[in-house]
Amino acid sequence: MVDSTTPIDWLVDEHPQEECGVLGIYAPKEDVARMAFFGLYALQHRGQEAAGIAVADGRGIHMHKDSGLVSQVFSPERIASLKGDFALGHVRYSTTGSSALSNAQPFLIETQYGPIAVAHNGNLVNAAELRAGMLRNGMGFSSSSDSEVITMMLAGAPGANWFERIKNAMQRWQGAYSLVVLTRDQLFAVRDPWGIRPLTVGMLPTGGHAVASESGALRSLGCQAIREVRPGEVIMLTNTALSVAQALPPAAQTALCTFEHIYFSRPDSFWDGRSVHQVRQRLGQQLAEEAPAVADVVVPVPDSSIPAAIGYAARSGIPYNDGFIKNRYIGRTFIEPTDSLRKMGVMLKYNVIFENVLDRRVVLIDDSIVRGNTTGPLVRLLREAGAREVHLRITCPPIRHPCFMGVDMGTYDELMAHRHTLEEIRQISGADSLAYLSLKGMKKAIGREEGYCDACFTGVYPFEVNAHTAKTGFEQPAGEQA
């Protein structure tokens, strides 16, 4: 039977699963809940399991969150009930902790200093150790999420004000955290010293400021003067100038997530000051140089691979065309398919445009192969549509190692490139040829040799990690809770 809180797993996306999206708004005399709703809409691609908005009015914090998409969680009446000058929002895909509603964000608790709500994107690699110590000291938890660990630590941190408490708590956090922290009369943006996950702040045209995981969400709210929150920085959002402080020094070597460029971010966003769309085009151009093919048409796996396919086609001289039409919502349904529909598998999500591939040699561009769930079926769809040859090209190196910093890429046993050689992957996929972009070529396309985390390709993490950590590592069977 399907868990009512979890999208069905019969058509799991091949790509690494989105982490989360966070949003914060300070806009006096504006309908901040409504603004947060539309800001979260622009971040929906980063998480589809749950959504939540918390609003502060100077006296307290009011919140609503639930499982589902933003449009399912919030009605006009619910939005109208959330009044205040400050808003915090979150869309979730589970990375630590399951998709149960108890893990949905924001987390809201009462403290001796008043209420505090937290929205978190990332993963603390030392969360289990921190949580165990808090449990030994008699503290209880209502979820299996590391984000609750962050919230509880903020509540108990020493300091004369919230900035000092945030700064003191940051001293003990190891890993990825881009946070928005809401009190009854303040809003903070916080980023880890490695800069792993994105966080961007901008000025609203009506006064006030907003912060979000991606610049595209800020532009949808009309923000100007957009800049990234710097590694180790804490920013208090105000109506005039931002109040900015360097809580921790930036790491000697930053570790920005490469996959923001490859897959996660919307193409209209900027990451590390670079246009995501342009970087993806350069990834395709570099791939065409490294792995040319004799073919008739270049076809992307929509949607994130479209810019790369355009770049590959431009550099190779092979015409670009659409080969697949994607149903963008089928993978997010909560309804179980019939047995006959289940057997159709990937055909429910992708339809081939027959006339664009019939009797043609196809270069199929995709941004990654993770577990290998859909690559083979997509190749078969092209062959069944009449493609003479299918040459598979991937715009990043083979993913051989899990991510412990906020991306659900699976375990070592689940990763295709960890278990198989290049030739074995080609045979399994059914492609006539297969090539990945080299690590050097990927960095050339991004435009930086250093400063990015490439651990999923190399196994070299920016800090020590526990390779046996599971995303549901805090969860134990009934009767075995600590």
Cβ contact 409:48 at 8 Å: no
453 among known catalytic residues = no
Residue whose structure tokens are 């609203």: 204
Retrieve residue 308's tokens: 């790369």
Query: In what helix (H) or strand (E) does residue 284 lie, and over which residues does it extend?
Result: helix 276-290
Residues 6+ apart with CB under 8 A from 314: 281, 284, 285, 320
SS3 content of the chain, % helix, strand, coil (to 5): 30, 25, 45
Question: Nearest-CA neighbor of 48 among 6, 16, 78?
Answer: 6
Q: Where are the beta strands (DSSP E) in 243-388?
A: 243-246, 256-257, 270-271, 274-275, 297-300, 324-326, 350-352, 361-366
Question: Nearest-CA neighbor of 12 among 322, 377, 419?
Answer: 377
At residue 257, φ and ψ (nearest 5 deg) are -70, 120
Q: At what angle do helices 375-384 and 422-429 cross, to 10 degrees?
A: 50
Retrieve residue 166's tokens: 């945030």
- State the catalytic residue, choosing from 20, 257, 453, 456: 20
Task: Specify the amino acid at residue 76.
Answer: P
Partners of 209 in beta bridges: 26, 203
Question: Nearest-CA neighbor of 314 among 281, 357, 360?
Answer: 281
- C-alpha to C-alpha distance for 102 and 390, rounded to whole angstroms: 45
Q: Cα Rg for the chain, rounded, in angstroms?
A: 22
Q: Where are the beta strands (DSSP E) in 75-113?
A: 86-92, 107-111
Residues 6+ apart with CB under 8 A from 25: 32, 35, 36, 39, 86, 87, 88, 89, 187, 204, 208, 209, 210, 211, 221, 237
User: What is the bridge-based pairing of β-strands 178-183 and 187-191?
Assistant: antiparallel
Retrieve residue 223's tokens: 């923000």
Neighbour tally for 116: CB within 10 Å: 26
Active site residues: 20
